[in-house]
Amino acid sequence: MSTALDAPDQPAVPEAFRSISTARKVKNHVATVLVSLAFLIAVVPLVWLIVSVLAKGLPAIVSIDWWTHSLSGVSPDEAKGGVYHAIIGTLIQAVIAGIFAVPIGIGAAVYLTEYGRGRLARTTSFMVDILSGVPSIVAALFIFALFISIGGLDQSGFLVGLALVLLMLPVVIRNTEEMLRLVPDELREASYALGIPKWKTILRIVLPTALSGTVTGIMLAFARVMGETAPVLVLVGYARAINFDPFNGNQASLPLLIYTELSTNPSAAGQLRIWGGALTLILIVMVFQLVASLISRFSTISK
């Protein structure tokens, strides 16, 4: 007869699952602990860094002058003046980069997603990866070799902008490409079915659908290039006064201001300015990132 009747308090079928052995349990717990620890290890320097920058930089940036005045006429050991000139320079140089990098980047992304076929497209895609790995100092040296050594131009904020184009392009291209690939093919097909040529479909249907994602990518690209220091060291001189003209003369930027104060000004006022500049730079980058994530909230398509 069936086993159930012989031993009513035992399960009818022998247990299918053996309980997990201690060794396996221990391994599983150790892994959990290690993996959580890894995350904590990353949080420690982040918090430490933010706290130190806030503690040392906050006293500098709370004054109104910090945001509205330059260092023109301020002696190095005087805790006066501000970084208005450097903020202006940083923004102007980033905008110059954007003027070139945004249209070219979107164009290249459209090429890669909509037109690109065969060897040329593969080469382009490969080169975008390579470009995203080119160190900023190499980009700066290239612009230096081309425009200053060979072209005979003087150092200027405009040349910094050109070097930043090289650093901005891969970010814009990759982000735009990703967004264009998310646009459903049905939209394109519907447009073709109405007899609309491909280029108009891309301009009127595909790009507007991907617009918010593309703008997000552009904002992130701006955030990335504004903190770049290597190009400004090679391609432009530091100025303590405001200069709105990127084509002539020296032009300050936040990274250049921090570097210059650090290497030439050991006074307490200089220290304050260094950390204040660092905090200001982080805040500006944050604003761009925040705008980027706000825009992506309104995205019509998403992953």
Partner 1 sequence: MSSVTDTQQQATPPRTGGARSGGTGERVFRGLTTGSGLVVVAAIALIGLFLVVQAIPSLIANHDNFLTSPEFNTTDANNLRFGIRDLLVVTVLSSLMALVIAMPVGLGIALFLTQYTPERLARPFSYVIGLLAAVPSIVYGLWGILVLAPAIEPGAGFLQTWLGWFFLFAPGNIAPVLTGTIFTAGIVLAIMILPIITATTREVFAQTPRFHIEAAQALGATRWEVIRMAVLPYGRSGFIAASMLGLGRALGETIAILLVIRASTSPSHGSLFDGGYTFASLIASAASEFSQPLPTGAYISAGLVLFVLTFVVNALARVVAGGKVNG
Do 125 and 112 contact (CB within 8 A), yes or no? yes
Out of 282, 291, 296, 301, the residue judged to bind partner 1 by CB under 8 A: 282
Q: Does 228 bind partner 1 (CB under 8 A)?
A: yes
Out of 1, 7, 13, 41, the residue judged to bind partner 1 by CB under 8 A: 41
Do 211 and 52 contact (CB within 8 A), yes or no? no
Out of 1, 5, 13, 35, the residue judged to bind partner 1 by CB under 8 A: 35
Six token digits for residue 164? 């930043």
- Site for partner 1, residues 242 to 281, rule: CB under 8 A: 255, 258-259, 262, 274-275, 278, 281
Out of 196, 211, 291, 301, the residue judged to bind partner 1 by CB under 8 A: 196
Using CA atoms, how far residue 221 sits from 125, 168, 172, 279, 292, in Å, is: 18, 5, 6, 20, 10
Q: Does 122 bind partner 1 (CB under 8 A)?
A: no
**How big is the site for partner 1, counted in residues (CB under 8 A)?**
105
- Site for partner 1, residues 134 to 193, rule: CB under 8 A: 134-139, 141-142, 144-146, 148-150, 166, 169-170, 173-174, 177-178, 181, 185, 188-189, 192-193
Q: Computed from CA positions of residues 254, 259, 261, 266, in that sequence, does the dihedral angle turn out positive or negative?
A: positive
For residue 247, the SS3 value is coil
Least distance from partner 1 to the Cβ atom of residue 260, Å: 10
Using CA atoms, how far residue 112 sits from 109, 169, 180, 268, in Å, is: 5, 14, 10, 53
Q: Does 58 bind partner 1 (CB under 8 A)?
A: no
As a whole number of angstroms, the distance between CA 97 and CA 164 comes to 6
Least distance from partner 1 to the Cβ atom of residue 251, Å: 15
As a whole number of angstroms, the distance between CA 246 and CA 231 comes to 14
Residue 5 or 130: which CB sits closer to partner 1? 130
Out of 63, 74, 76, 132, the residue judged to bind partner 1 by CB under 8 A: 132
Least distance from partner 1 to the Cβ atom of residue 243, Å: 18
DSSP letter at 55 equals H
